[in-house]
Chain A
């Protein structure tokens, strides 16, 4: 079992729709969770972090965390073509020292 799992996609949504990206993780002791966006040929860019169960909203983005189910999600409202990118779920593996473990990424395509 991979430490962090995501559907690779592509996930295709029309402009203006809600895009829903999902991630599960295996280490029940993980405390910090991140969503990164990566455009082709660019380095990952942090868009959301979440540490507590529930929802966290930032503009058009909402991160959701359920530690009991070991599940993290990212919702993108009013999706725009500029949101087309690969979205990487990352989990901070703690113990000794922190390190960030990434899922395979979900490719999102927003079409006009």
Chain B
């Protein structure tokens, strides 16, 4: 299965600032997915990133708040902009395995906004 390196693993940020999270995959993938997991909650899909086109955002998420880059088939970034304490969550990237054998997740970024 794909191996995903995600960083930073955790960060504590001041409100009003921005944080960029990076995901590097060890193989080329068409789609990369970004999820948020709020404390005690399940995973919510933020957006889908396809190389060469703008990301597609789910209802409730907007590009100005969560800009995404996908410069090539192995890398993507998610930025959490103008952060507030409500953005404190775990953010995870994910890729769909070849042959449709499920999805693999990065190790996650635990973000705390103070």
Contact = CB atoms under 8 A, between A and B. Distances in A.
A101 B45 contact: yes
Nearest to B96: A98
Listed residue (A42, A44, A98, A102) with the most chain B CB atoms within 10 angstroms of its CB: A44
Task: Categorize the interface residue count of chain B.
Answer: 20 to 34
A99 B42 contact: no
A49 B101 contact: yes
Nearest to B108: A43
Contacts of A101: 45
Interface string A9-51: 0000000000000000000000010100000001111100100
Contacts of A104: 41-42
A88 B43 CA distance: 9
B76 interface: no
Interface of A is mostly: strand
Interface in B75-112: 92, 94, 96, 100-108
Nearest to A35: B102
Contacts of A90: 103
B102 to A, nearest CB: 4
Contacts of B108: 42-43
Interface of A: 32, 34, 42-46, 49, 88, 90, 97-105
11 contacts: A43-B105, A43-B107, A44-B105, A97-B31, A98-B31, A99-B33, A100-B96, A103-B42, A104-B41, A104-B42, A105-B42
